[in-house]
A and B are shown apart, each in its own frame.
Chain A
Amino acid sequence: MKKIAIVLVLSMLICCFAGCGASSDAVTLNVLNWGDYIDEELLSQFTEETGIRINYTTLANNEEMLVKLQQEDCIYDLCFPSDYIIERLISMDLLYEINKDNIPNLQYIDDRFLDLSFDPGNKYSIPYMWGTVGILYNTTMVDDPVDSWDILWNEKYAGQILMYNSIRDSMGVALMKLGHSLNTRDEAHILAAEEALIAQKPIVQAYLGDDIKDRMIGGGGALAIVYSGDAMWCMDEIEGNPDLAYAVPESGSNLWFDNIIIPKSSTKTAEAEAFINFLCDPEVAAQNAEYIGYSTPNAAALEMMGADYIENETYNPPQELLDKCEIFHDLGDFINVYNDSWMRVISYAE
């Protein structure tokens, strides 16, 4: 028993030393991000330039990230949550106030993406990527014009429609189709959206997450809801499917922002700020944005990426369209009302 106790204690000590050991000569930043959401070559480039190591972890959705950041023993130093989650994190006082003197590259960020409603004055977050939500469709299967959300309810495409398996995106599409706000707190609107989604369910092929991309590239669906960055990825001439096209309905859509934040619990804020500054460097931002296909808020980087990107309406939608789009806001506990409706939708069986 004693021996075992000794072994246990020793192994724990070794773990501790392994953890702190690294920090004595080189700081390690724990980065939590979405899958396929950074050019990983840049991580080693950063380590080469600064000597700061990166421990990179990924996960699948905003709600999961929120759970991780709420934990008391949160180990992460950098995260990339979306607008409404940042709003939530700020209200819970979980974010570190970024010292902008350490981020001179902030000057390259387009003013359009600064000082947004979810983080006035960018006290806690720095823009990383942005985009719209729209409809990705296969031009060989769809012959109607794709200019309204109603096409996702068209029975002609029964069994060929892919929806997102996340509450806010799918409920949001139904709310937009009905002409309501994405952030409505009117229960009648939410019930109407629920009815619309239940009516749509028989013609939906599946409610998926990231696998929507692979299915659409493989020709496994005619119409799908995707983020604009994913659409760029799917339409790529070499790795994607050239038959695919992307459209944002004329009536507007969801405009979203993923920003970089530092949790309040982080003890390596100076190094984290150095990494943010590195990501805002125009050359780095351009390489990163070209790699992952998402729209960069970095004006200098976009300039470097050239006309192919600047003139591409998926990548760089015209301002008139953006003016019609709406940003998600944190719903607080009201999310339960949305959730109940969404549960009724996905548990619905004829």
Chain B
Amino acid sequence: MKLKRQAFSYPYIVWMLIFILAPMVLIVYFAFSSAEGGLSLDSIITALTNEIYMKVLARSVWIALKATVICLLLGYPIAYILSTMKKRTAAILYVLFIVPMWMNFLLRTYAWQVLLDSNGIFNSILSLLGLPAQQFLYTEGAVMLGTVYNFLPFMVLPIYSVLVKLDRSLVEAAADLGANPVLCFIKVVLPQSVPGIISGITMVFIPAITTFAISRLLGGGKFLLYGDLIENQFITLGQSAWPVGSALSFILLVLVLISMAIMRRAEHDAGEQGGMLW
């Protein structure tokens, strides 16, 4: 019985070896080799010292941070409202939230292109109101909107799943002991939902920092992000640029791992705090 169960994991392990581990090993290998081959730190040094690369990295981190904060500010209230609704209504709204995610995100981003366009629905509304048409598409705002729109469900869902399991009697107890609703929220609900917030932040920040299609489709190629930079190394410059391209990927990978470690740590601390609350 035991052996049989183990056997089920083999395809998964083989899958991971071929499609996850092997590419990672290749990235690391190329990142630490020079264009001529052989071990070298040149590519990493180039990737870290090039002014453009660092500027683009800073911009990518900044856009991802902004998108994460907006997602949190929008997502938390949504999750909270969902969690206080009747089970039935909440279930329907929950499904409505998930349904768009069944569609490929590129298609949804293309749809925003049409909506934001000069002949799109927003400009039609403006012209109905007698206001001059605005250029919405191909602006930094459009990139931000696309990022927030695409990743918002990843913020709402983890927070919702924590909040919905929250013991309501604790809130009632706090209220009975004289805490006003705001205090109840800050002292009771918020601390307990920290694990949800943290996994939400992780699930938004990491894809947002590595995205490149959104900036291309909604930013019109004017807002180069780190992902675009990596693509350019491989596509335009060809084989000789693979080491630098891999070095850029490696830096992004390290950045992602660092942010995950920070989130883990925060979650752990929050867990301890939560324990004290009990």
Chain A interfacial positions (CB closer than 8 Å to B): 1, 3-4, 61, 63-64, 66-67, 70, 159, 165, 167, 201, 204-208, 218-220, 333, 335-336, 339-340, 343-344, 346-347, 349
Contacts and interface: CB of A to CB of B under 8 A. Distances in A.
Contacts of A3: 7
Interface in B226-265: 229, 232, 234-240
Given A220-B118, A347-B55, A339 B220 contact: no
A349 B59 contact: yes
A344 B52 contact: yes
A220 to B, nearest CB: 6
A63 B235 contact: yes
Contact of B220 (A206, A333, A343): A206
B117 interface: yes
B220 A67 contact: no
Interface string B165-178: 00000000000000
B53 to A, nearest CB: 9
Interface string B87-125: 000000000000000000000000000000111000000
Given A205-B220, A207-B220, A347-B224, A1 B236 contact: no
Interface string B9-53: 011000000000000000000000000000000000000000010
B220 A201 contact: no
Contact of A165 (B11, B55, B118, B221): B221
A63 B236 contact: yes
Given A4-B11, A66-B238, A347-B56, 20 more contacts: A1-B7, A4-B7, A61-B235, A205-B135, A205-B138, A206-B220, A207-B220, A208-B221, A218-B117, A219-B118, A220-B117, A335-B236, A339-B232, A339-B236, A343-B52, A344-B52, A346-B221, A347-B59, A349-B59, A349-B223
B187 interface: no
A265 B235 CA distance: 21
A347 B225 CA distance: 8
Contact of B235 (A4, A67, A343): A67
Contacts of B224: 343, 346-347
B104 to A, nearest CB: 17
B268 interface: no
A207 B237 contact: no
Contacts of A1: 7, 10
Interface centre among A4, A67, A167, A346 (most CB of B within 10 A): A346
A165 B219 CA distance: 12
A64 B235 contact: yes
9 contacts: A66-B238, A67-B238, A159-B135, A201-B222, A206-B222, A218-B119, A220-B117, A347-B52, A347-B56
Contacts of A220: 117-119
A204 B234 contact: no
B28 to A, nearest CB: 21
A346 B222 contact: yes
Contact of B240 (A4, A205, A333): A333
B258 to A, nearest CB: 23
A61 B224 CA distance: 19
Nearest to B135: A159
Given A67-B238, A335-B237, A336-B237, A343 B232 contact: yes
Contacts of B55: 347
A34 to B, nearest CB: 15
Contacts of A204: 222
Contacts of B239: 67, 70
A138 to B, nearest CB: 12
Interface string B125-142: 000000000010110000
A218 B56 CA distance: 32
A201 B138 CA distance: 12
B117 A339 contact: no
Contacts of A159: 135
A227 B224 CA distance: 25
Contacts of B220: 205-208
A346 B222 CA distance: 6
B224 to A, nearest CB: 4
B221 A207 contact: yes
Contacts of A206: 137-138, 219-222
B222 A70 contact: no
Nearest to B216: A165
B133 to A, nearest CB: 11
B5 to A, nearest CB: 12
Contacts of B232: 339, 343
Given A205-B220, A218-B119, A346-B224, A4 B10 contact: yes
